[in-house]
Amino acid sequence: MSAAVSVENLRIEIAATGTPVVSDVSFAIAPGEILGLVGESGSGKTTVGLALLGHARRGLRIAGGSVLLGDRDVLTQDEEERRKLRGSAVSYVPQDPASSLNPALRIGLQLREVLDAHDSGGARDYSARIAEMMRAVALPDDRAFLKRYPHELSGGQQQRIGLAMAFANRPRLIVLDEPTTGLDVTTQAHVLSTVRELAALHDVAALYVSHDLAVVAALARRVAVMYAGRVVELGPADAMFASAGHPYTRRLIGAIPRLTGGRSLVGIPGRALSPGKRPGGCGFAPRCDLRIGQCEQEMPELRPIDTDHMVRCIRAELVMTQDPGKAGEPVEMPAADDAEVPALRITDLVASYGRHEVVHSVSLALAAHECLALVGESGSGKTTIARAVAGLHHAWTGTIALDGAELHPSARKRGGDARRRIQYIFQNPYGSLNPRRTVGQIVAQPLKIFGTAGGREADKRVAEMLERVSLSSGYARRYPDQLSGGERQRVAIARALVCDPTVLICDEVTSALDVSVQAAIVELLGSLQRDLGLSMLFITHNLPLVRSIAQRVAVLSQGRIVEAGEVGQVLANPSQPYTRQLLSDTPSLETAIADVSLDEPPAETFGK
């Protein structure tokens, strides 16, 4: 039985300049198999995924290589031939279902047209097929549902429509591009299981593109890791996660939060370089602590180090014998100080949006020098609580007390001292910094507003703060659009800490960041919190992350606290069904690897 798809030496470049974006990518997928394609932003993984459909985004051009579907090379076909293949022989499930469905057309029509476009038989009545497709993705199959518009569906439902459209014509290959980004953990779990079932049922090969290793581990038997436009490792998931051969893969795994053990996370210093700025020789060399002279001179070949396990590193054997290092060690958490007045006490908080009550009588205490994690899915009210504490959300009743002193709902009406002592870090690094100000001005702003320091003194403190967050003082003259997401979050942290606050509220501060960057930021926050004795309210939907930074955790569901307690306690022995469900739905490396090795191996494995 031959491979469903076989990619050889794929090369994609920027159309205008010829700069390579993706080079030398080769892999094969068997029918019914799911191959995970992992990489962080800028690695080129989405570009590769699209190339399997013979499509390149604006400004890019597929310059070489072949994509064999069966015996036909997609890349040599003309446009009309490719159009016929798309949706029928190979289909695509996009990342953002909300923007990929046409807002002006009913979903029934959008489903039907993918059948219609590829139906040579000319059959007009697709109702039966459509009903069947809907049942396959666990959606209602009645006509009323099909008459809805995309905005009348939830995110999970929209994504299932996307899956239905992709599987409709029984393709040989499906490319899934991070299809669960932005979905709740529970919905994500459902979508993933649907993908697994359908792929197995129809013997469809699947390429699952993702930056989330935990998810990929749960789904794929084989994984390819991409860095700087090349495949750096390709092999069976369990072997790779147990002991990776490439330094990058190893560090990536070390950066993933775990559910068990108080693990510190280790990020990867430096950042990936954009096409055109990549060095000669191994792309990862500048950031690799195992590099030697030869690494920088020539690009290593992708070579086998084991059956079906290939690595692009000349020191792969050495890498595999390395011990994980700092990653995995328990974190030293100071004991929370219960004797003092709690830094923050929330009593009977009831918050609403308009007439809609979203937080129902929540009570919390944040002890001095403690980090409390607030965990919940979207809509649970965690951000509302955070914003109420900061004075950004005004429609609430109850009391919020800072060091015993009650706070006014609106930040403007609070005293300068109260405003200074509560600082907030936002989720979106691209929106939280004023694009028209330099980094130095941004970090100095609180000093000016609260009158803490001025002139030379202010400059000094800004420089100190930047050093503290591991940004050289030269950053002060740059503008935000010259910084990466991780660097921007560091600036946001510097800004928040420059005035010696007491309480730091971190609102999903790593959700928009790559895994390795997330690790670095979480470690930074953790060490700052411990060194400065801050009380921190850490809001996230990512349960395993909590382990690495917080001492206590409170689980929120639909505006109520469901469970609260010590992190180790809650994660190991959850007492509430909601918490248990949340834990079991969260993909994690440990459980995924255990699952994978229990499944039956496929009929034949393919490698190169």
Q: Decide: is 486 part of the binding site for other proteins (CB under 8 A).
A: yes
Which segments of 219-367 are extended strands (E)? 222-227, 230-236, 303-306, 309-311, 344-353, 356-366
Rounded CA gap, 516 and 360, in Å?
Answer: 36
DSSP H/E element including 582: helix 577-585
Closer residue to other proteins in complex, CB, 191/237: 191
Smallest distance, other proteins to C-beta of residue 324, A? 22
Closer residue to other proteins in complex, CB, 171/342: 171
Q: Decide: is 440 part of the binding site for other proteins (CB under 8 A).
A: no
Smallest distance, other proteins to C-beta of residue 568, A? 31
Smallest distance, other proteins to C-beta of residue 457, A? 19
- x/- letters, 10..29, toward other proteins (CB under 8 A): ----xxxx-x-x--------
User: Using an 8 Å Cβ cutoff, are 54 and 99 in contact?
Assistant: no
Using CB under 8 A, which of the segments 199-207, 420-428, 458-466, 571-579 binds other proteins? 420-428
Q: Decide: is 451 part of the binding site for other proteins (CB under 8 A).
A: no
User: Using an 8 Å Cβ cutoff, are 23 and 11 in contact?
Assistant: yes
Q: Decide: is 70 part of the binding site for other proteins (CB under 8 A).
A: no
Smallest distance, other proteins to C-beta of residue 605, A? 29
Rounded CA gap, 400 and 537, in Å?
Answer: 14
Smallest distance, other proteins to C-beta of residue 354, A? 12
* Sole binder of other proteins in the list 424, 475, 538, 606 (CB under 8 A): 424
User: Using an 8 Å Cβ cutoff, are 115 and 88 in contact?
Assistant: no
Q: Decide: is 145 part of the binding site for other proteins (CB under 8 A).
A: no
Closer residue to other proteins in complex, CB, 88/535: 88
* Sole binder of other proteins in the list 1, 2, 18, 59 (CB under 8 A): 59
User: How far, in Å, are 146, 248, 274 from residue 226 at the CA level?
Assistant: 39, 9, 14
Backbone phi and psi for residue 307, each to the nearest 5 degrees, phi listed first? -65, 125
Three-class SS state of 318: helix
User: Using an 8 Å Cβ cutoff, are 591 and 606 in contact?
Assistant: no
Residues 195-214 that bind other proteins (CB under 8 A): 211
Closer residue to other proteins in complex, CB, 85/331: 85
Rounded CA gap, 95 and 176, in Å?
Answer: 8
Residues 232-271 that bind other proteins (CB under 8 A): 271
Closer residue to other proteins in complex, CB, 412/456: 412
Smallest distance, other proteins to C-beta of residue 78, A? 13
Beta bridge partners of 61: 13
Tell me which amino acid residue 455 is.
G
Residues 158-187 that bind other proteins (CB under 8 A): 165
User: Using an 8 Å Cβ cutoff, are 187 and 215 in contact?
Assistant: no
- The end-to-end CA distance of the chain, in Å, is 16
Q: Decide: is 124 part of the binding site for other proteins (CB under 8 A).
A: no
Smallest distance, other proteins to C-beta of residue 394, A? 11
User: Using an 8 Å Cβ cutoff, are 606 and 3 in contact?
Assistant: yes
* Sole binder of other proteins in the list 34, 48, 60, 525 (CB under 8 A): 60
Smallest distance, other proteins to C-beta of residue 260, A? 27
Residues 267-326 that bind other proteins (CB under 8 A): 271-276
Smallest distance, other proteins to C-beta of residue 549, A? 19
CB neighbour list of residue 121: distance below 8 Å, 6 or more residues apart: none
Q: Decide: is 479 part of the binding site for other proteins (CB under 8 A).
A: yes
Q: How many helices (H) and strands (E) does the chain have?
A: 23, 22
Say how many residues make up the chain.
Answer: 608
* Sole binder of other proteins in the list 9, 57, 123, 580 (CB under 8 A): 57
Label residue 312 exposed, middle or buried (CB < 10 Å: 0-12, 13-18, 19+).
buried
Give the closest residue to 5 by CA, choosing from 34, 27, 36. 27
Three-class SS state of 240: helix
Closer residue to other proteins in complex, CB, 134/272: 272
Smallest distance, other proteins to C-beta of residue 466, A? 16
Give the closest residue to 348 by CA, choosing from 331, 334, 337, 364. 364
Smallest distance, other proteins to C-beta of residue 513, A? 6
Closer residue to other proteins in complex, CB, 153/364: 153
Closer residue to other proteins in complex, CB, 103/455: 103
- x/- letters, 373..392, toward other proteins (CB under 8 A): -----------------xxx
Looking up tokens 């950066």 gives 255
Closer residue to other proteins in complex, CB, 165/592: 165
Residues 78-117 that bind other proteins (CB under 8 A): 83-88, 91-92, 94, 96, 99-105, 113-114, 117
Smallest distance, other proteins to C-beta of residue 233, A? 18
Rounded CA gap, 463 and 488, in Å?
Answer: 16
Smallest distance, other proteins to C-beta of residue 59, A? 4
* Sole binder of other proteins in the list 124, 355, 356, 412 (CB under 8 A): 412
Rounded CA gap, 32 and 35, in Å?
Answer: 10
Smallest distance, other proteins to C-beta of residue 156, A? 18
* Sole binder of other proteins in the list 414, 461, 468, 547 (CB under 8 A): 414
* Sole binder of other proteins in the list 514, 548, 579, 592 (CB under 8 A): 514
Can you say whether residue 459 is alpha, beta or left, with left for phi > 0 and alpha for psi between -120 and 50 degrees? Answer: alpha
Backbone phi and psi for residue 539, each to the nearest 5 degrees, phi listed first? -105, 130
Q: Decide: is 512 part of the binding site for other proteins (CB under 8 A).
A: yes
Using CB under 8 A, which of the segments 195-203, 301-309, 483-491, 543-551 binds other proteins? 483-491
* Sole binder of other proteins in the list 20, 31, 36, 42 (CB under 8 A): 42
Using CB under 8 A, which of the segments 64-72, 424-432, 464-472, 533-541 binds other proteins? 424-432
Query: Order of strands, edge to edge, in the sheet holding 5-14?
Result: 20-29, 5-14, 60-69, 72-73
Closer residue to other proteins in complex, CB, 236/257: 257
Q: How many CB atoms lie within 10 A of CB 451?
A: 11
Backbone phi and psi for residue 240, each to the nearest 5 degrees, phi listed first? -65, -40
Please give the full DSSP string across 92-136, using - where no structure is assigned.
EE-S-HHHHS-TTS-HHHHHHHHHHHT-SS-----HHHHHHHHHH
Q: Decide: is 128 part of the binding site for other proteins (CB under 8 A).
A: no
